[in-house]
Amino acid sequence: MDSEPVVTLGATRCGDAVFEWGRRTYIMGVINVAPDSFSGDGLHDVSAAVAQGQRFVAEGADLVDVGGESTRPGSSPVSVAEELRRVVPVVEALARALRVPVSVDTYRSEVAQQAVAAGARMINDVWGLKHDPQLATIAADEGVPLVLTQNQRDATFHSFFPELVESLGHSVQVARDAGVDWHNIIVDPGVGFGKTMEQNVEIVRRLSELKSLGRPILLGTSRKSFIGHVLDLPVDQRFEGTAATVAIGIANGADIVRVHDVGQMVRVARMSDAIVRGPPS
């Protein structure tokens, strides 16, 4: 009996870095420049953001993700001008100071365009092109990777996981139609974005089913509210819960994990990789 063919995801170039999918799990460190960040780690000036980025790299981060608008439930959107004021100087400074790529966490094409001009080498769209499809054109024209997140804050699921996969597949097709290279697409199931606690747990448990999309998977569970609901703990006490989701996520196919506690989650990822992918040679 013939075995099933092995599906390889290839590699994605991000600035000077090359992410070889399947070889190990990559670590994305979160740099928030929104004062109302849900995780309580919002930074208020460029020098603090650079210092945090340098610490993340020293701790093993493979890239950093800069966001200027809180994504916590109930948060108010900021203007484009305010997001640009927060994000662009930080991206520019980090791109000069760090040896790893900088990603910009935005769903607005104006912000993405200026951030890429300032040195961002990845676009992380938390609306999966639903809010602003022009982001895909920017990613295609600039040749940068694009993270597509499934965001359910504007709709209701009827059949949860199949619809989540279908929604991500639609975002992938929009990106492809705009000319984004296949190897520059990354998918994110969007833990916390309009999902219930039970649905977020189900995402981590069923993450391997996203492999049907044929693209690397980014998982962002760090400090999120579903962990707080399960453990009945505030945001500053969700470290162990986050570690559990990272380890199980890697076992179920995560290729990138987006985290706040970089040094500790690097160790969780390396141990998980040794079990799932084999010890480093």
Catalytic residues: 224, 258
Q: Are 58 and 23 in contact (CB under 8 A)?
A: no
For residues 200 and 100, what is the distance between their CA atoms, to the nearest angstrom?
30
Greatest Cα pair distance in the chain: 61
Q: What is the 3-state secondary structure (H, E, C) of 239-258?
A: HHHHHHHHHHHHHCCCCEEE
Question: What phi and psi, each to the nearest 5 degrees, are found at residue 252?
Answer: -100, 10
Q: Is the dihedral of CA 202, 206, 207, 209 positive or negative?
A: negative
Residue 232 in 3-state DSSP? coil
Q: Are 201 and 215 in contact (CB under 8 A)?
A: no
Q: Which residues contact 274 (CB under 8 A, 6 or more apart)?
A: 280
- Which residue, among 34, 39, 36, 132, has the nearest Cα to 90 in the 3D structure? 34
Q: Are 187 and 168 in contact (CB under 8 A)?
A: yes
For residues 177 and 175, what is the distance between their CA atoms, to the nearest angstrom?
5
- Which residue, among 137, 145, 81, has the nearest Cα to 109 in the 3D structure? 137
Task: Tell me which residue has tokens 């579903």.
Answer: 226
Residue 148 in 3-state DSSP? strand
